[in-house]
Amino acid sequence: MKHYKLKILQDKPFITEFGERWPALFSESEVNAEFTRITTVPLLPTFMSQLDRHSSQSMKVFKKKGGTAGRNLGLIMAAMDKDPTVETRRDCILKALCVYMNESSESFIKEYLGVELPTTQMEPMVLGLYLVKHEGAEPGEPLADVGVIIEGVGVLRELKYLANGWAVLLGLIYSLNLSYPKELKHTFEFIQKILMGLDGNILSTKVQPSMAPPYLSELLHSYTPTRTLRSADQLLLRVPKTKSKRRGDRAFSAAAPNLWNDLPSLIRQAPTLSVFKPTSSP
């Protein structure tokens, strides 16, 4: 079976042919199992627990955002006041994360009214999620449907919540060896590295020591614990020992790693300089 799956991936068929040749994949339980087989990380439990774990810190950072993005974040987070359930909080955090990363989810998340989404409305979507609301639905009322669309085809439905749909889509991206949506590349990388802990030891491009001038990058080194610890995926820098508390601790080689390590992980993972600057400012 393993070689059969590999053969399908190597052929790179369209999604409709995927469904014909590997129909068992397109179920929530099978996506979760395949993702775990590939990464050794349980998909849904890890996604939800880590999303909850980072919620409080994320909301604090979101509130500091100014300008148009800050106002849009406020509108998204206001939904939690009307419906304080954990499901709504998760959905709001994911939507807000896109805005915070200076990315747009408009072409990725499509919302509709009615009972069933017409097939013709799926066709323009290459990769994304659809949410179908009941007409006249009140805040907190369950959605009529949540599903995943790949290449204009609805491959999974009845996923209940946006967060659940997002997690399943991430699993399909890994299972089918797909690329992240270009419009949400940084958002998905944050989910991959911070929430799921995959490739978390790779520093974001704009803050890698190699991107700094040589005379500075030579003084900075990534922290690698001698055994597996939670700090291994926190993008920390190694702080060298100094002989003098007064002079040694003020040297760039010691002061810079200390300042960097004191930043919240959400800021250390900032994918671009434009995102990093406003969040790291007091």
- Tens digits of per-residue pLDDT, 48-70? 999 999 999 889 889 888 889 89
3-state secondary structure of 133: strand
Please report which confidence band the pLDDT of residue 165 belongs to, taking 50, 70 and 90 as the band edges: very high
Q: What is the mean pLDDT of residues 187-207?
A: 70
pLDDT at residue 115 is higher than 50: yes
Pairwise pLDDT comparison (237 vs 109), residue with the higher score: 109
Q: What is the mean pLDDT of residues 25-36?
A: 86
Please report which confidence band the pLDDT of residue 81 belongs to, taking 50, 70 and 90 as the band edges: confident
Q: Which residues touch 195 (CB under 8 Å, ≥6 apart)? A: 46, 47, 50, 51, 54
- Tens digits of per-residue pLDDT, 198-210? 874 444 443 344 4
pLDDT for the residue numbered 18: 60
Please report which confidence band the pLDDT of residue 281 belongs to, taking 50, 70 and 90 as the band edges: low
Q: What is the mean pLDDT of residues 24-39?
A: 85
Can you state the angle between helices 67-77 and 86-100, rounded to 10 degrees? 170
CB atoms closer than 10 angstroms to residue 50: 15
Q: Of all helices (H) and strands (E), which one includes residue 145? A: strand 145-150
Please report which confidence band the pLDDT of residue 218 belongs to, taking 50, 70 and 90 as the band edges: low
pLDDT for the residue numbered 259: 80
Q: What is the DSSP string of 19-41?
A: HHH-GGGSSHHHHHHHHHHHHSS
pLDDT at residue 253 is higher than 80: no
Q: Residue holding tokens 């190699």?
A: 210
Domain positions in the chain: 2-107+161-195, 205-280
pLDDT for the residue numbered 249: 54
**CA 77, CA 112: separation in Å to the nearest integer?**
21
Sheet arrangement for strand 127-133:
109-113, 127-133, 145-150, 153-156
**CA 261, CA 234: separation in Å to the nearest integer?**
9
- Greatest Cα-to-Cα distance within the chain, rounded to the nearest angstrom: 70
Pairwise pLDDT comparison (217 vs 90), residue with the higher score: 90
